[in-house]
Amino acid sequence: MAHQHQATNASNKTQAFKIGVGLNLAFIIVEAIAGFSVSSLALLADAGHNLSDVLGLLISWLALWLSQKQPTKQRTYGYKSSSILAALANAVILLIAIGGIAVEAIQRFANPEPVSSWTVIIVAAVGIVINGLTAVMFAKDQKGDLNIRGAFLHMAADAGVSLGVVIAGFISLFTGWTWLDPAISLLIAIVILISTWDLLHKSVNLALNAVPEGVDIDKIKKVILADETVSDVHDLHIWGMSTTEVAMTVHVVRTTLAYNNEFIAKMNNELSREFGICHLTIQTELGKCSPELTDDSV
């Protein structure tokens, strides 16, 4: 049942990527043509960012596909960690896009050009719809998958930015402010930076095998030590195998090895249920039954 659920979930994510990539590629073409025709840096900057979004979607899609491949003798965990690399790559791509947008916007402040506001408004309004629909497709799965969250943040941020462009376009109609277009470009850069920072921070942590967010190592120790036969816990390691799967290894010192299989099964059930740990290795050791016993007597 669990395998069937995972397969169905992966199929739904794949479908979302197909639709998202197709819609955004079509929008990029329209936005780039409109941006060149009316000399709008805001539209061109957003088109460039949308292109990086498509690249990001393709990277996330590739990682999703790789994560479904079976383990091999050389890669005993398969390609599950590719989703971590995808999230990190998306963060880096966004940072590069931010730098490019900011540089171009600053240069345009020195040489502002008039913008056809109605064209900007119409194209940006289309962007709200396309980016918004794409974000909705990833909204459900982004909470439990950093790889999917990267795709969601791309789309959600773009929808918000497009809304800002529409508002700025209406203002330009009545004011004629030529500096508003590069100002919107800088706003785009700031919004992308804010949405990217959390993605970068978490993906770097996962890449460095840090304890995944939401997993409390102290609480895990308490759960293990709560068993009356456990006297100590050491060599506890927790890391993300992927953006959705958590692995853990631990040495547990027990006062008895009686019912050892039952103890391990109990720990597996409790830790997987409470903390979402799906790959758990427990090594039990026979420790001291009381302070009076020496190491030689065990």
* Least confident range of 112-116, 191-195, 251-255: 112-116
Query: Is the pLDDT assigned to residue 6 strictly greater than 80?
Result: no
Query: Is the pLDDT assigned to residue 27 strictly greater than 80?
Result: yes
Identify the pLDDT of residue 164. Answer: 74
Residue 93 pLDDT grade (very low, low, confident, very high; cuts 50, 70, 90): confident
Identify the pLDDT of residue 113. Answer: 63
Query: In whole numbers, what is the pLDDT of the chain averaged over residues?
Result: 83
Residue 231 pLDDT grade (very low, low, confident, very high; cuts 50, 70, 90): very high
Identify the pLDDT of residue 157. Answer: 76
DSSP collapsed to 3 states, the chain:
CHHHHHHHHHHHHHHHHHHHHHHHHHHHHHHHHHHHHHCCHHHHHHHHHHHHHHHHHHHHHHHHHHHCCCCCCCCCCCCCCHHHHHHHHHHHHHHHHHHHHHHHHHHHHHCCCCCCHHHHHHHHHHHHHHHHHHHHHHHCCCCCCHHHHHHHHHHHHHHHHHHHHHHHHHHHHHHCCCCHHHHHHHHHHHHHHHHHHHHHHHHHHHHCCCCCCCCCHHHHHHHHHCCCCEEEEEEEEEEECCCCCEEEEEEEEECCCCCHHHHHHHHHHHHHHHHCEEEEEEEEEECCCCCCCCHHHC
Identify the pLDDT of residue 82. Answer: 92
Query: Is the pLDDT assigned to residue 8 strictly greater than 60?
Result: no
- pTM across the whole model: 0.77
